[in-house]
Structure formats: C-alpha cells, structure tokens
Structure 1
Amino acid sequence: MDFSNTSNLNSTVKSQTLFCYESLSGSCVRIARPLSVQVPMFTSMVLAILVTVIGNLLVITSIAHFKQLQTSVNQLLVSLAVCDLLLGVFVMPCSAVRSVQGCWYLGGFLCKLHTSTDIMLSTASIFHLSFISIDRYFAVCRPLSYRLIITNNTVLIMITSSWLVPAIFAYGMIFPEINLKGREDFYETHVKCIGGCQVFFSPVAALVASSFCFYIPGMILICIYSKIYWVARAQARSIKDVSRQFKEADSGRRERRGANILAIVVGVFLICWSPFSLCLIIDPFIQYSIPPLLGDTLVWFGYLNSAFNPIVYAFFYTWFRRALRIIISGHIFHRGSCRFRLYSE
C-alpha cells in the first residue's frame, strides 16, 4: 500500500484546522464557516435581537406611561419585559458573535458573567410567569379575596423574588463552579480550552439546575392554568345562564380572557425552552455526546421566546395595540396622554 497519499491528506487536514488563538497552546478549535453562511446567521440573529429589544421597550413604555394599565398583573408583565429586554441587550449580542465566529474572545470572567446572567434571566422569566399565574388564579378563582391578597406589597415581593432568587442561584452556581462538581477532570480534559465559553453541567448539577429553572416551575404553571381553565369554564356557563348584562359578568369575562392570553404566553415559553432543557438534563448521562451546534441552536430557539412575548401581546391585547398606535403616532407626548382610556372598565 502507498501511505504517502494518506500522510499528505493528514497534513492537509491539520493545516486546514483553525483555532481561536493560533499562537496559543490549548486553544479551542474554531468552526470555519463560509461567508455565505455567516451573513444569514448574523442577520437572523440581529433581527431577533432588534425584535426583542424594540418589542419589550414598547411593552415597558405602554404600561409605565398609561395609568389605566398599571394593574398588579401588568406590573409583573413590565418586570418580565425588563427581563426580556436585558436578555436582548446584554446576552443575545455576545451569544450571536460566539455562534457565528465559533469562539469567545472576551475572557474567562466575562464568560462566567455571560453564562450566569443568561441562566438568571431565563430563570427569572419563568419565575415571573409563575407569579403571574398565581395572580390570575386569585383573579379568576378567588375574585372576592383578590384585592385582599394581591396587594402592592404582595406584587413587590413577587417581583423581588423573581429577580433575587434566580440571581442567587445562577451566580452562586457558575462563579464558584458548582456546576462542575463531580466532573472536573472530564471538563479540564475534554471541554475546557482557550477561546471557548461552553455551558457545562455535571449530572447532579444538570438535574438540579433544570429542575429548579424549568421543570418544577413549569409543572406549577401547568397545574395552576389547568385549574383556572376549569373554573373559568364553570363561571362562563353560570354567567351565561344567569345574565349577560351585569358589570361583574363583563369584568369576569375580561379576567378570564386575560388568563387565557397569559396561558398562551406560558405555552410559548414552555415550547421555546423545553428542547434545550431536555438536552441539558440528558447530555451528562450520555457522555456529553450532543453536538455543540445542536445545543447552540436550541439556546437560540429559547431566546426567541423573548421576542415572541410582545408579538403575542400585540396579537391578543387590544389595549396594547391601542397603546402602540398612540406611541407611534406621537400622541404619547401630548399633555394628559397618560390618562387615555385604552379599554372600558
């Protein structure tokens, strides 16, 4: 056999291998993508970032400006929009560069900061949705005690918990490297390299993180909205049988419609983040054999949830569409515009 061709082939492959830092030993291998692939990737990611930032800015502006919209559930919604906005401003751009270039050029500290902020904001989103579901539960299922239980202080505690608990969990796990416990040797040998910023979890850490950040809150959301659904159906039948003319009936219909719309928001969140959460919990138990490209794609599919939320509001909430028209037309700058009525009480 002639081994000269094989030798030449191996040397050619080696010469074509690209690294994040060509002059450093231990550098990560860089994925060489042609410009025809990089441009569509970067364009689509920039589009997702712009929709996320602009859409959530409009939600924040609408609820913060119009006094009629400053209800308990909308205060939680605006806090959720801030969470999505921060994801679009600080996390998604860095992730876009890493995804397109295949390398992380910002150093180890910023890698940890980026990863922990990413986890915190994603977890904060589902915490907000959980508290919103609790608000809707009392509004629909316990309307007489709603104003006694869901007070301004209650909402403040909900919002604070939605930010503080995920922050403690995310930064407390990533910076002390608790996520590596039990698999440090594997990480040092097979994963860690210069120019990389991979999210790595040991089996126990993956189980704890996915349960805390997704599965347990997700099950709570499904259970609460299932209860709301059945109570709302029963109430709708009762109201239809009794009368259609009472204000209480109109208010009840509005609360139920709001709960249904927020259930759609929850459904979008679960659909967007379920694939990544499933891979996160499976990967350590199959020796980390899920391709990095697939993991990166699923992360971006999860990011799209932050862009979808304002679209859902615009599609289903008449008050949001009216607020958008006022903002875009410039009437928001008129004196007294904050008192405009966007829906009938």
Structure 2
Amino acid sequence: MDAPVNISQIAIWEKPVLCYEFSNRSCQQFVYPLETRILLYILFSVSSIVTIIGNLLVIITVIHFKQLHTPTNYLILSLAVADLLVGGVVMPPSMLRSIETCWYLGDLFCKIHSSLDVTLCTASILNLCIISLDRYYAICHPFQYHSKMTSLATLVMIIICWSVSAALGFGMIFMELNILGIEDFYYDNIDCDGGCFALLSPPVLIFAPSWIPMN
C-alpha cells in the first residue's frame, strides 16, 4: 500500500526553483540532473578549448612566418582574432548561463558580455565579407588586385570592420536599442533577477539579422 503524501510535501515539490530565493523579481531556474550538467560542461569546455587552440595556431602562424604577411592573410588573422575572442571570452559565460540557467555575474557584466557577443559575431561576418571581396578581386581582376588590395587598404578595412562592429555591439546594448519599441513588454514580462537575455525587437531583427548573438 502506497504511503500517504500530505499537501505540504506536494507544495514543496511543485514550488519553482528560483535563481535568487529572496528576490521578488527572481527568474525561475531549471535544474539539470547532475550527470547531464557534467556532460554539458565537458562538451562546452571542449568546444571552447578547440576554438581557442585552432584560432591561436592560425594567429601564431601568420605572425611568425614573414612569407605569410600578405593582405589576404591579414584578413584571415583578423577573423581568427575575432573567433579566438568568441571562444575565450564569450563562450565560457554563455556556458555557465546555459547550464545553470541563471546569470550570477551581475547586470553590468551581462551588458558587457552581450555587447561582446554582438561585436565579435559582427566582426566575424564582416571579416568574411572583406575576405570574399579580396578573393573576388584576386580571381576576377588579377591585374588590378595588387594595386587595389594593398596592405594599407586592408588595414583600413580591418579598422572599419572592428569599429563598426564595436559601435553596433556596445551601442545597441548599452543604449538599449535592441528592445526599441518593446521596452514595456521587456521590463514587465522578461526582465528578472538572475537573467541575461539578448532580446531583439522586430525592427532590429528586420534590419540587422546577421548580428543576432549566437551564444
């Protein structure tokens, strides 16, 4: 015969787990089983380490060998730096947020992390666009390539790439342009203690779909 279960026990079992137990605005926490959390930490950590090591090798190779000091390889170097920072700076906090389902690093660092996420993802995409342009001139206009894609021109494009990316990333998050038009909905229904959400409003999704944070 099954043992009786009193109402107080049921209430305890059904009580949601909160990120901050003593906060009225706390987010709810989903607690993964211990085995699942360990497996996820291993998978995320391996992905981050592989990303860091792979891009670090590219950076060291391009910098060390003088014969690789070409405009094309400078662009590849810039792309590798962006991806290295994604693996070393963006992915670890994202791993903690995804597995623990709560953000315990504070609101300021949440904004910095989201800004870096958008900045580095945008930089990666823009670097790929510049590399495509470089390859286009190399293949379709080989006689004009060396006059147009000089080291100085490449440096200017890299500076513009990173400047635009940083302006978009930090400007959008810190000026709250990502929730433009849905501020009331965000603060009433989504914003809570222990959360770090990179929510994008419909206008942002329409005009800038390429720099949605990936982590």
**TM-score in same-fold range (> 0.5):** yes
8 Å contact kept, 2:72–2:134: yes
Runs of 4+ in 1 over 4 A off after TM superposition: 5-10
Residues 18-60 of structure 1 show CA distances to partners (whole Å, capped at 9, x for unaligned) of 1111111111101111101101101000000100111111000
Q: CA deviation at 1:171?
A: 0.9
State the match for 1:134 in structure 2: 133
State the match for 1:118 in structure 2: 117
State the match for 2:198 in structure 1: 199
State the match for 1:27 in structure 2: 26
8 Å contact kept, 2:70–2:151: no
- The yes-or-no answer on 1:209 pairing with 2:205 is no
Cα distance in structure 1, aligned partners of 2:89 and 2:38: 21
Q: CA deviation at 1:170?
A: 1.3
- Shift in alpha-carbon separation, 1:155–1:196, aligned structure 2, 3 A: same
TM-score (norm 1): 0.59
What are the equivalent positions in structure 2 for 1:115-264 lying under 5 Å apart?
A: 115-210=114-209, 213=210
Cα distance in structure 2, aligned partners of 1:190 and 1:63: 48
Cα distance in structure 1, aligned partners of 2:38 and 2:120: 28
State the match for 1:63 in structure 2: 62
Residues 290-325 of structure 1 show CA distances to partners (whole Å, capped at 9, x for unaligned) of xxxxxxxxx35xxxxxxxxxxxxxxxxxxxxxxxxx
Secondary structure of 2:208's counterpart equals helix
Cα distance in structure 1, aligned partners of 2:82 and 2:121: 8
Cα distance in structure 1, aligned partners of 2:10 and 2:157: 59
Q: CA deviation at 1:117?
A: 0.6
State the match for 2:52 in structure 1: 53
Task: Give the residue type in structure 1 aligned to 2:165.
Answer: P
Cα distance in structure 1, aligned partners of 2:72 and 2:151: 11
State the match for 2:11 in structure 1: 11
* Structure 1, gaps ≥5 residues long: 215-276, 281-298, 301-345
Task: Give the residue type in structure 2 aligned to 1:108.
Answer: D
Q: CA deviation at 1:8?
A: 5.9
Across the two proteins, how many residue pairs are aligned to each other?
211
Q: CA deviation at 1:71?
A: 1.2
Cα distance in structure 1, aligned partners of 2:193 and 2:70: 49
* Structure 2, gaps ≥5 residues long: none
Secondary structure of 1:24's counterpart equals coil
Residues 186-221 of structure 1 show CA distances to partners (whole Å, capped at 9, x for unaligned) of 1111100001001111111222221xx35xxxxxxx
Secondary structure of 1:30's counterpart equals coil
Larger relative contact order, structure 1 or 2 (CA cutoff 8 Å, min sep 6): 2
Task: Give the residue type in structure 2 aligned to 1:56.
Answer: N
TM-score (norm 2): 0.93
Larger radius of gyration, structure 1 or 2? 1
State the match for 2:79 in structure 1: 80
Cα distance in structure 1, aligned partners of 2:177 and 2:112: 15
Give the % identical residues: 42
TM-align CA RMSD: 1.8
What are the equivalent positions in structure 2 for 1:279-318 lying under 5 Å apart?
A: 299-300=214-215
Task: Give the residue type in structure 1 aligned to 2:130.
Answer: F
Q: CA deviation at 1:12?
A: 3.7
State the match for 1:244 in structure 2: none
8 Å contact kept, 2:82–2:120: yes
